[in-house]
Chains A and B, each alone.
Chain A
């Protein structure tokens, strides 16, 4: 019963999100694209629009992208065994 309710909830949220997004279609004009391609050199001093966006216009994105690598390494260190944990590891998982 609770699984049925969960499925109803998930489908309801999905339908609501899809309905809202299709009801309010926003037509974006290419203003930002035109602004960045015309002004990135004067704004940021970069000769490369990708570097200008990554390191100046969208710096928050780059900062938190750098955090993703740290998260990945922390997860890896957490789930790979250390030398001490491997010392009493066995072939079949039973405790010696």
Chain B
């Protein structure tokens, strides 16, 4: 947490947060990142893969929300990233797999699997992050609105 944020919290603009929660989640944050990318990158060796690793990466957004519940991440930007990686997921197999390139060159097979796992993992991570943040900062409880 940056000094400005701590000042904002001490000034009463943010609700009081447990110090234990802050320290423990701050300690676990890099390990969650590491576990997510470990699951993604070993997708073709061990059980796991893109979707599972993406789910682990999405817990980063939840952890940040638990410690610092401020809506400054910008779910529009996350959704843009998700759509970008989804376009790559649709393009990469079209260019590499369906043309027969990967099956003709066995030395690129592992590279292709890793690439697809990374793309799927990032797409799922951003997508679940958008969903979680959008619901977490939902402020319409008890209200009626017009779409």
Using a CB–CB distance below 8 Å, which chain A residues touch chain B?
43-48, 50-52, 54-56, 59, 62-63, 66-67, 69-70, 72-73, 76-81, 85-86, 88-93
Complex CA–CA separation, A81 to B147 (angstroms): 7
A-side contacts of B74, CB under 8 Å: none
Using a CB–CB distance below 8 Å, which chain B residues touch chain A?
43-47, 49, 79, 82-83, 86, 89-90, 93, 97-98, 102-103, 106, 109-110, 112-113, 116-117, 120, 123-124, 127-128, 130-131, 134-135, 138-140, 142-147
B-side contacts of A45, CB under 8 Å: 44, 106, 109-110, 113
Pairwise interchain contact A50-B145, C-beta atoms closer than 8 A: no
Instruction: Check A89/B43 contact, CB under 8 A, given A45-B110, A55-B113, A73-B131.
Output: no
Q: How far is the CB of B121 from chain A (nearest CB, A)?
A: 11
Pairwise interchain contact A81-B131, C-beta atoms closer than 8 A: no
Complex CA–CA separation, A93 to B146 (angstroms): 8
Pairwise interchain contact A90-B43, C-beta atoms closer than 8 A: no
The 6 closest A-B pairs by CB, nearest first: A45-B109, A93-B144, A89-B145, A89-B143, A46-B44, A51-B44
Complex CA–CA separation, A34 to B82 (angstroms): 37
Contact partner of A81 among B93, B113, B140, CB < 8 A?
B140
Complex CA–CA separation, A85 to B120 (angstroms): 33
B-side contacts of A89, CB under 8 Å: 140, 143-146
